[in-house]
Structure 1
Amino acid sequence: MAGDTVRICLWSGPRNISTATMRSFEARGNCAVWDEPFYAWYLKETGIDHPGREETLALWPHDADEIARRCAGPAPNGEAEFFQKHMCQHMLPGLDLSWTAACRHVFLIRDPAEVAASYFATMDRATSADLGALRQLALFDEIAYVTGRSDWPVVEGRDVLADPAGMLRAVCAAIDIPFRTSMLSWPAGRRASDGPWAPFWYARVEASTGFDAPRASPHPLPDELEPVVAACRPAYEALKRRKLAAPRAH
Structure 2
Amino acid sequence: MSKRINLCSGPRNISTALMYSFAQREDTKVFDEPFYAFYLDKTGKEHPGREEVLKAQNHDPQKVLEELLSEAADKPVLFIKNMAHHMSLLDKNLLAGFAHIFLIRDPKEMLTSFIKTIPNPTLRDTAYKEQYEIFSYVKGELGPEPVVIDARELLLNPEPVLSEACKRVGIVFDPAMLSWGKGPIPEDGVWAKYWYDSVHQSTGFDPYKPKNEEVPDHLKGLLEECCFYYEKMFEYAIKAI
Normalising by structure 2, report the TM-score.
0.94
Q: Identify if the C-alpha distance between structure 1 residues 125 and 60 changes in structure 2 by more than 3 Å, giving closer, same or farther.
A: farther
**Residue of structure 1 in register with 2:87 after alignment:** 91
Pick one of 31, 34, 38 that aligns with 1:34: 31
The aligned runs of 1:21-170 (5 Å cut-off) are 21-70=18-67, 73-76=69-72, 78-93=74-89, 95-149=90-144, 151-170=145-164
The alpha carbon displacement at 1:123 in A equals 2.9
Q: Is the 8 A contact 1:22 1:33 kept in 2?
A: yes
Letter in 2 for 1:223: D
Question: Partner of 2:183: helix, strand, or coil?
Answer: coil
Q: CA RMSD in A?
A: 1.7
Letter in 1 for 2:231: E
The alpha carbon displacement at 1:243 in A equals 1.1
The alpha carbon displacement at 1:189 in A equals 0.5
- Distance (Å, rounded) in 1 between the aligned partners of 2:202 and 2:77: 23
The alpha carbon displacement at 1:77 in A equals 6.3
Percent identity over the alignment is: 38
- Distance (Å, rounded) in 2 between the aligned partners of 1:218 and 1:40: 35
**Residue of structure 2 in register with 1:192 after alignment:** 186
Q: Identify if the C-alpha distance between structure 1 residues 159 and 131 changes in structure 2 by more than 3 Å, giving closer, same or farther.
A: same
Question: Partner of 1:121: helix, strand, or coil?
Answer: coil
Q: List gaps (5 residues or longer) in structure 1.
A: none
Q: List gaps (5 residues or longer) in structure 2.
A: none
Number of positions where the alignment pairs a residue of Structure 1 with one of Structure 2: 241
Question: Partner of 2:6: helix, strand, or coil?
Answer: strand
**Residue of structure 1 in register with 2:210 after alignment:** 216
- Distance (Å, rounded) in 2 between the aligned partners of 1:240 and 1:224: 25
Question: Partner of 2:149: helix, strand, or coil?
Answer: strand
Question: Deviation digits for residues 156-213 of structure 1, max 9, x if unmatched?
Answer: 1111111011110110111110001000001110122111111111000001100000
The answer to which of 205-214 and 62-71 deviates more is 62-71
Q: Which runs of 4+ in 1 moved over 6 A?
A: none
Letter in 2 for 1:43: L
- Distance (Å, rounded) in 2 between the aligned partners of 1:145 and 1:65: 23
The answer to which of 56-65 and 22-31 deviates more is 56-65
Normalising by structure 1, report the TM-score.
0.90
Q: Identify if the C-alpha distance between structure 1 residues 175 and 77 changes in structure 2 by more than 3 Å, giving closer, same or farther.
A: closer
The alpha carbon displacement at 1:56 in A equals 0.8
Q: Is the 8 A contact 2:138 2:146 kept in 1?
A: no
